[in-house]
């Protein structure tokens, strides 16, 4: 894949603008949720995460590499890499799917199964999470980015590297949470929402 014509490839001098934009997008805003309980955000403690971040690939409702038991046959979910190969101005990033109904477990490796009552994309909010590097055994979401996960904007640490902090303050729950835990309120400013990720997936499949 060659550089896209008309697309500005960021250089070192652009980093201060990128950081400013990311800081704005990651700030507490009026639209942030009020203080929630662990039950309200379906908090899953680190001890139940099996040392892995949350993704469809370790969820029992995933029809492996294809679809979700809850969302039906029309919602295609699988990890992908974009751009598929390095260019002069960008490196490949691997994206792992997940949604707010995630539970730890083994995916369905057999024939696809679907619930009688299919839930919508709007209800479950699936999307894609970038991994620190391609080729990980598992990528996905957790509070502090431990075990190859992508950290949550609500996990507040004093230092720059959230991954080395075993616990930190969560501004949704208003209490300390574990680095390797996760919940349905997880958020990251570079999350790929369903429409964006689906379009990239279609582009890759039609290339
Ligand atoms: S840091 Fe994020 S993922 Fe972890 S409990 Fe708080 S909102 Fe949920």
Question: How does pLDDT run across 67-99, given as a tens digit for each residue?
Answer: 999 999 999 999 999 999 999 999 999 999 999
How much of the chain is in helix, strand and coil states, percent to nearest 5?
20, 20, 60
Residues with CB under 6 A from ligand 1: 41, 43, 143, 152, 154-155, 170, 172-173, 177, 181-183, 185-186
Atom of ligand 1 nearest to the CA of 173: 6
**Residue 42: is it exposed, middle or buried by C-beta count within 10 angstroms (0-12/13-18/19+)?**
middle
How many residues in the chain? Answer: 207
Name which residue sits closest to atom 6 of ligand 1, judged by CA: 170
Atom of ligand 1 nearest to the CA of 41: 8
More confident residue, 62 or 9: 62
CA of 169 to the centre of ligand 1 (A): 9
pLDDT, position 51: 98
CA of 171 to the centre of ligand 1 (A): 8
Share of the chain above pLDDT 90, in %: 84
More confident residue, 160 or 77: 77
pLDDT, position 27: 75
Q: Which residue has the tokens 């662990």?
A: 38
**Is residue 30's pLDDT more than 80?**
no
CA of 66 to the centre of ligand 1 (A): 27
Q: pLDDT confidence of 2, banded at 50, 70, 90?
A: low
Kindly state the average pLDDT of the residues 164-171. Answer: 96
CA 190 to CA 19: how far, in whole Å?
Answer: 12
What residue segments make up the domains of the chain, in order of their start?
35-206
């Amino acid at each position: 894949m060659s550089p896209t014509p008309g697309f500005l490839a960021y250089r070192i001098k652009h980093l201060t603008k990128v950081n400013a934009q990311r800081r704005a997008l990651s700030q507490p805003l009026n639209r942030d949720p009020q203080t929630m309980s662990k039950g309200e955000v379906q908090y899953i403690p680190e001890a139940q995460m099996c040392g892995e971040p949350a993704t469809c690939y370790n969820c029992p409702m995933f029809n492996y590499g294809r679809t979700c038991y809850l969302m039906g046959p029309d919602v295609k979910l699988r990890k992908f890499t974009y751009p598929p190969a390095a260019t002069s101005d960008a490196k490949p990033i691997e994206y792992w799917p997940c949604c707010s109904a995630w539970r730890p477990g083994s995916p369905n490796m057999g024939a696809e199964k679907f619930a009688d009552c299919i839930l919508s994309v709007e209800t479950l909010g699936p999307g894609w999470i970038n991994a620190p590097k391609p080729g990980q055994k598992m990528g996905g979401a957790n509070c502090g980015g431990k075990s190859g996960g992508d950290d949550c904007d609500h996990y507040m640490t004093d230092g720059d590297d959230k991954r080395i902090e075993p616990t930190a303050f969560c501004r949704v729950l208003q209490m300390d949470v574990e680095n390797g835990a996760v919940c349905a309120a997880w958020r990251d400013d570079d999350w790929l929402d369903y429409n964006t990720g689906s379009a990239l997936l279609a582009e890759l499949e039609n290339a």
